[in-house]
Amino acid sequence: MTPTPVAGFRRHPAGPVAGLLGLALVLGFVLGGATPAVLAQDDAPTPTPGVLGTPTPTDPCAVPADQTPTPLAEGTETYAIVSEESKARYRVEEELVQVGATEAVGETAAIIGQILFDAEGMPLACSRFDVDLRTLQSDEARRDNYLYNNTLETEQFPLATFVLTGVEGLDGPLADGEETAFTLIGNLTVHGVTNLISWEATVTRDGDDLSGSALTRWEMPQFAIEPPRAGPVVSLDETVQLEVDIVAKRAEG
């Protein structure tokens, strides 16, 4: 049986926007609930994406339940992810009986979040996105169901969340209409485990529109994920390549 996503997402990857409104309210509170820190810039980007170590010890974006959210700093620009134009996907190398080596790819459009810039046009910490892992679909329903029920245990751990804490290799604000490459650093939470990771990213800012792609790689055990060993799977590479293609638009006000 295919798992049913909780309120906030719909499983069909072609139209998750209406179902994302509930989570949008939550993200609005989180992202608006703390004054984001300006990210320290570094001229030496991390060359290889992947897990860097333990997560940052404090969460600058967290707001205690008994405190009133602090408004964003004056001049902060917010770009909201356009879910129907964005994608998140995984890639894993596998070997199947009677098929041989192949690449398993699962994708979803159930991705939501916000990207923040300060008054000078520099990215801000607390930018984030969330992906509903229960909506991932590959070309094989049996693979998807096994991931939901066993490998990812998505009823218990439905979301993958990335919160930005730093940027490397970005010397100044994004030039309008030009593609810029840099490294994103932040906390990724998957399967109940949080690790500090880096992403290779390319982003283009075009007025009120923002588009870009990012990828990272990590080993399943680093997120307490048990590699699947069932059915036609002979062997599986434990390396996961996670990719996001994001389109965002500047929010009003």
pLDDT tens string 35-81: 555 555 444 445 578 899 888 776 667 666 666 656 677 788 999 99
pLDDT (tens digit per residue) in 120-169 = 888 988 899 999 999 999 988 888 888 899 889 999 999 999 999 999 99
pLDDT, mean of residues 106-130: 93
- In this structure, are residues 85 and 79 in contact, taking their beta carbons and an 8 Å threshold? no
All structural domains of the chain: 18-250 (2.40.128.110)
Relative to beta strand 179-190, strand 50-53 is: unpaired
Cross-strand pairs, 128: 114, 163
215 token code pair: 């990828």
Query: Is residue 31 pLDDT above 90, yes or no?
Result: no
pLDDT greater at residue 237 or residue 90: 90
pLDDT greater at residue 27 or residue 46: 46
Please give the backbone phi and psi of residue 128, each rounded to the nearest 5 degrees, phi first.
-160, 165
**Would you state the pLDDT for residue 241?**
94
**Would you state the pLDDT for residue 142?**
85
pLDDT (tens digit per residue) in 90-105 = 999 877 555 557 788 9
Ramachandran region, residue 242 (left: φ > 0; alpha: ψ -120 to 50; beta: rest) = beta
**Would you state the pLDDT for residue 96?**
58
**Would you state the pLDDT for residue 242?**
96
**Would you state the pLDDT for residue 15?**
39
What's the first-to-final CA gap in the chain, in angstroms? 44
Most confident stretch, 22-26, 132-136, 171-175:
132-136
At 181, is the pLDDT very low, low, confident or very high (cuts 50, 70, 90)?
very high
Integer Cα distance of 188 and 179 in angstroms? 25
**Would you state the pLDDT for residue 38?**
53
**Would you state the pLDDT for residue 103?**
87
pLDDT (tens digit per residue) in 184-228 = 999 999 999 999 999 999 999 999 999 999 999 999 999 999 877
**Would you state the pLDDT for residue 147?**
86
**Would you state the pLDDT for residue 109?**
97
pLDDT greater at residue 211 or residue 27: 211
**Would you state the pLDDT for residue 221?**
93
- In this structure, are residues 128 and 163 in contact, taking their beta carbons and an 8 Å threshold? yes
Average pLDDT, the chain: 79
Q: Which residues contact residue 248 at a Cβ distance below 8 angstroms, ignoring those fewer than 6 apart?
A: 79, 80, 81, 82, 86, 114, 115, 209, 210, 211
**Would you state the pLDDT for residue 104?**
87
